Amino acid sequence: MTNERFDLAIVGSGGGAFAAAIRATGLGKRVVMVERGTVGGTCVNTGCVPSKALLAAAEARHVALDAARFPGVAASAGPVDMPALIQSKAALVESMRTEKYTELAADHGWTMLEGEASFTGTQDEPRLRVASPDGAEKTIEADHYLVATGSAPWTPPVPGLDETGYLTSTTAMELDEVPESMLIMGGGYVALEMAQLFSRLGSRVTMLVRSRLASQEEPEASKALAEVFADEGIRVVRRASAETVERDHANGGVLVSASVAGGRETFRASRLLVATGRRPVIDGLNLDAVGVKTGATGEIVIDSRLATSNPRIWAAGDVAGHREFVYVAAAHGALAVDNALTDAVAEVDYRHLPRVTFTSPAIGSVGMTEKEAVAAGIRCECRVLPLEYVPRAVVNRDTRGFIKVVAELGTGRILGISAVARDAGELAAAGVYILEAGMTTAQVAAAWSPYLTMAEGIRIAAKAFTTDIAKLSCCA
């Protein structure tokens, strides 16, 4: 394959890479994809799929232990067989990887290469050198190149951290036993999901959080999740910053010394999980050789069309430093192909991007938060609907959470919807359609909504702009 030419060469094999390859082969283009590790990328292998599978299992155990909230129902749950749980997770991952990735490549007919890819050539004539595991090398020439190598867990430079040993969200999902106790650094969506996962599997969990839980979401979401975690026995320590980490020789665990609200405190646990963010994977790509610029955290700098500083090289997904959702990567991949191979000038529109954190209850959001609307100079008004006013939550015997609607003052146009609730992800999806349609609170309040669904809560929240919802009858 030395010097064989393609229309598109893709580095990576995750959601963005596959979306790009599918779009390009659909256009009749010759495509080659290079992957140095396991086909499928983060989502199916170490991210969305395995984490949500384990979270579902942990919730099943929690529901059994929490069944007493329904009078007349008794249930119990024993210790977790962690090897069996991890094995079932691995089987699910393998099945989805085969069905949704490996077999699809064959179905669509692009070329797959295993090996380390690095750019060579010049800025005007970039090429890819692929070093395969057997030591052979190939050189690939293409009209355009797409870098879709994703991101990996990032750890802060805390003294003793590397020497002591720690878990990431990836390695934590390979444990063969449930730790007696776990200390988690971080307060974002990965930290939140991992904290509840291991707490519900049986660990005593403590979180060290710099600011607040889910700090990019509405403050009401942080408060609601903090209350849920407190009820479930998860300790959340705010304004905490780890300063040193060392081995606890007394019991083989870890000791973390942290500054906490101006003081200093030492935390002990069996295991330490670091969930302080992710960084783009660009090591070994030799981007400088072909004039591709990178940013402060290693992200590939792109314009609104996803083009890099080299007009023949494009980037999609996490590696470009954008929101770490697989559906963003997939949208990037398809759009980059359109712009590269069809002379389109499409841009990514993030205004109505939905966001979900898969805790239980979940956090679901779409559009602007109140803070973002104010920062944009938009005069707005908001309503926060406690779930005690949502019939679905009442019959579920779980009214923890809320639905918040942010609307433009005067017009009533809905700018954003946030929720902490069971099925909050579905509320965010419904919110996408509301925002895309430019609907007002009056329109949503007057629209049909089936009784005893969580989505009905959006309609009730919209009615709250003009009505005292405490005085409404069912379905009114």
- 421 burial class (0-12, 13-18, 19+ CB within 10 angstroms)? buried
**E strand map for 299-424:** 313-315, 354-357, 362-367, 380-386, 402-408, 414-421
Cis peptide leading into residue 126 (ω within 30°): no
C-beta separation of 378 from 404 below 8 A: no
Domains annotated on the chain, with CATH: 4-152+279-341 (3.50.50.60), 161-276 (3.50.50.60), 354-471 (3.30.390.30)
Tens digit of each residue's pLDDT, the chain (476 residues): 456 799 999 999 999 999 999 999 999 999 999 999 999 999 999 999 999 999 999 999 999 998 888 999 989 889 999 999 999 999 999 999 999 999 998 899 999 999 999 999 999 999 999 999 999 999 999 999 999 999 999 999 999 999 998 999 999 999 999 999 999 999 999 999 999 999 999 999 999 999 999 999 999 999 999 999 999 999 999 999 999 999 998 888 999 999 998 899 999 999 999 999 999 999 999 999 999 999 999 999 999 999 999 999 999 999 999 889 999 999 999 999 999 999 899 999 999 999 999 999 999 999 999 999 999 999 999 999 999 999 999 999 999 999 999 999 999 999 999 999 999 999 999 999 999 999 999 999 999 999 999 999 999 999 999 999 999 888 87
Tokens linked to 382? 């908001």
C-beta separation of 179 from 206 below 8 A: no
pLDDT in tens, 39-71: 999 999 999 999 999 999 999 999 999 888 899
Q: Which of 465, 330, 384 is nearest to 19 (CA)?
A: 330
Instruction: Count CB-CB contacts under 10 A for residue 354.
Output: 19
d(CA 188, CA 210): 10
- For residue 187, the 8-state DSSP code is -
Distances (CA, A) of 329 to 44, 148, 191, 218, 358: 13, 8, 21, 25, 19
Contacts within 8 Å (CB) and 24+ apart, 127-132: 128/9, 128/11, 128/34, 130/34
β-strand partners of 10:
33, 146
Residue at token pair 């996962």: 197
C-beta separation of 368 from 416 below 8 A: yes
Cis peptide leading into residue 361 (ω within 30°): yes
**Entry pTM:** 0.95
The per-residue pLDDT for 2 is: 55
What are the respective helix, strand and coil percentages of the chain, to the nearest 5?
35, 25, 40
The per-residue pLDDT for 450 is: 95
Amino acid in the structure at residue 26: G
Tokens linked to 147? 């870098």
C-beta separation of 178 from 86 below 8 A: no
Instruction: Count CB-CB contacts under 10 A for residue 76.
Output: 7
pLDDT in tens, 305-338: 999 999 999 999 999 998 899 999 999 999 999 9
Amino acid in the structure at residue 221: A
Helices (H) and strands (E) in the chain, counts: 15, 21
Give the CA radius of gyration of the chain: 24
C-beta separation of 452 from 474 below 8 A: no
**Reduced to 3 states, what is the DSSP secondary structure of residue 119?**
strand
Instruction: Count CB-CB contacts under 10 A for residue 241.
Output: 13
Dihedral of the alpha carbons of 373, 317, 356, 222, in degrees to the nearest 10: -60
- Non-local (6+) Cβ contacts of 398 within 8 A are 69, 361, 387, 422
